[in-house]
Chains A and B, each alone.
Chain A
Amino acid sequence: MRKVYMDNAATTALAPEVLEQMMPYLTTTFGNPSSVHAFGREARTGIDKARQQVAAALNAEVDEIIFTGCGTESDNTVLLGVAAKYKAKGNHIITTNIEHHAILHTAEYLEKNGCEVTYLPVDQYGRVSAEQVAAAIKDNTILVSIMFANNEVGSIMPIAEIGAVCREKGVLFHTDAVQAVGHVPIDVKAMNIDMLSLSAHKFHGPKGVGALYVRRGIRLPSFVMGGGQEKGRRAGTENTAGVVGLGAAVEMSCAHMEENAKRMTALRNRLMEGIEREIPEVKLNGHRTERLPNNVNYSIRYIEGESILLMLDMNGIAASSGSACTSGSLDPSHVLLALGLDHETAHGSVRLTLGDETTEEDIDYVIDVLKKTAERLRMMSPLYKG
């Protein structure tokens, strides 16, 4: 059976070139990067190089990059750190209602602990505007945290405009760029970004390693307390191989970003056209053009997402859904509901996220299987009247 992996927003395959660069650090170069001897110094070299690679990818300075355990940790560090550090200045945080749970659940925790949080509502495409941000900023606002691109519907936020507003009003601006790094161009200086979270496994790096960019002049408390690693900004012996992999992967992704984005956009559009041509009564979730080059998300009316995924899986296709049955709760995805979808439509969503290895044949195969899946499940559905 043909196997087609279309869940690259969940995670990506480790690139062979990246693994190759990691291998020495999993084997011979095993020293502790904090050790003064040659073993340690060699390991340190790998981390130093990775820091340069990340800084170059973001147009940041080398000392502005902190390695962390994952994207979630980077997000947590910013929200909890800023709230603690700037308590005297204020307690108001602005974010959106479609953030990843790494942000949302942390914001909810902060609300229970004395913070005031504004969740800006997105429009029907999953975007907030810089004007909304400007209007929400108050005297006690200490942080604006808005994702660069959404993981479910792929919408891209006007980050440069939001950055300009925050800089002008003197409010710190963080962006969760976990879905954007390596996929769309980012320049922290030009975009006035003060803090940025990223995660290696979303751009063909290893899992369990992330990074946080913190602009010079901002000092957050260390989220993990202990030794003096990362200049005291994140304790714990470094995941050397992981960090090296992150660096290699970000360099590789950025080097091929333009060509990959072009190729992926063409494939994405082929998939969207195919779905709309072959399956009646579908709804595109997110914006038609202002979306990640690899993200496709549709609601297929009258049928439910988990059964769509099962049937795709039986045909070798890996996808995901915002239905309640896949979110582990009774409600469908908060993102789809925030876009204004009713529950039934949200339950019937399917997300297909393309990767570097996706081919035109894969796309055509997916269209064909999805069409048959929709027909079959609709035949079973009491909501479908033909």
Chain B
Amino acid sequence: MYTEKVLDHFSNPRNMGEVEGANGIGTVGNAKCGDIMQISLKINDEGIIEDVGFKTFGCGAAIATSSMATEMIKGKSIEEALQLSNSAVVEALEGLPPAKIHCSVLAEEAVKAALEDYYKRKEEAK
């Protein structure tokens, strides 16, 4: 039911863990539904995502989409990261079962939540 790509990201997740010195952290989902994703970002003064990490409680698809999403935004600008869509994550994973599409939505939301947190912190620091 999962593509090779999904299984690869599940068994060898990229950017797993919480980034040290993160300046943007987003957590979405809830344990009741069975998925929680947390994405942490370290964004430099030029607005480039220098480092990114994820922590996920969830099924294989939840872990694989988080891993893929982090890979897709690493080294990118904030603007580029904001463009990340769930369908791009699905495509990069070469597809997801229909029942698992919501995992990719969660991954997109986690990235956005982390960026929002980054902006909020910047605002507060002013």
B49 at the interface (CB under 8 A from A): no
Out of A302, A324, A382, name the residue touching B34 (CB < 8 Å). Answer: A324
Encode B15-59 as 1/0 by CB contact (under 8 A) with A: 011000000000100011111111000000000000000111111
Complex-state Cα separation, A344 to B29, whole angstroms = 12
What is the distance, in angstroms, from A334's C-beta to the closest C-beta of chain B?
15
Contact of B60 with A347 in the complex, beta carbons under 8 Å = no
Q: Is the interface of A mostly helix, strand, loop or mixed?
A: helix
Chain A residue numbers with a CB within 8 Å of B55 are 380-382
Query: Which residues of A in the span 338-386 have a Cβ within 8 Å of any Cβ on B?
Result: 343-344, 347, 379-383
List B contacts of A379 (CB < 8 A): 16-17
* Secondary structure type dominating chain B contacts: mixed
Q: Is B58 within 8 A of A304, CB to CB?
A: yes
- CB contact under 8 A between A325 and B34, given known A307-B59, A307-B60, A382-B55: yes
Does A135 reach chain B (CB closer than 8 Å)? Answer: no
Q: B7, B32, B34, B61: which contacts A323 (Cβ < 8 A)?
A: B34
Which of A314, A325, A343 has the most chain B CB atoms closer than 10 A to its own CB? Answer: A325
Interface pair A382/B33, CB less than 8 Å apart: no
Q: Is B118 an interface residue (CB 8 A)?
A: no
- CB atoms of A380 and B16 under 8 A apart: yes
Known contacts A328-B99, A347-B31, A382-B36: A306-B60 contact under CB 8 Å: yes
Q: Are B63 and A343 in contact, with the CB atoms below 8 A? A: no
B11 at the interface (CB under 8 A from A): yes
Q: How far is the CA of A302 from the CA of B38 in the complex (A)?
A: 14
Query: What does the 1/0 interface line of A279-322 toward B look like (CB < 8 Å)?
Result: 00000000000000000000000111111001100100000000
Q: Given A328-B99, A380-B55, A383-B36, decide whether A343 and B60 contact each other with a Cβ distance below 8 A.
A: no
Known: A304-B34, A330-B33, A343-B32. A325 touches B63 (CB 8 A): no
Q: Known A328-B99, A382-B56; judge A310-B10 contact (CB<8 A).
A: yes
A332 within 8 A of B: yes
**If A382-B55, A382-B57 touch, does A307 touch B63 (CB 8 Å cutoff)?**
yes
Bound complex: CA A301 to CA B34 (Å): 12
Task: Enumerate A264-286 residues with CB–CB distance to B below 8 Å.
Answer: none
Complex interface: chain A residues within 8 A of B60 (CB): 306-307, 310
Residues B59 and A323 in contact, CB atoms below 8 Å apart? yes
A325 touching B57 in the complex, CB below 8 Å, given contacts A304-B34, A379-B16:
no
What is the distance, in angstroms, from A385's C-beta to the closest C-beta of chain B?
Answer: 11
**Which residues 2-20 in B have Cβ within 8 Å of A in the complex?**
2, 7, 10-11, 13, 16-17
Where the two chains meet, the residues of A that have a C-beta atom closer than 8 Å to any C-beta of B are 302-307, 310-311, 314, 323-325, 328, 330, 332, 343-344, 347, 379-383
Could you name 18 residue pairs across A and B whose Cβ atoms are closer than 8 Å?
Answer: A302-B57, A307-B59, A310-B2, A310-B60, A314-B7, A324-B33, A324-B34, A325-B34, A325-B99, A343-B34, A344-B32, A347-B31, A347-B34, A379-B17, A380-B56, A382-B27, A382-B37, A383-B31
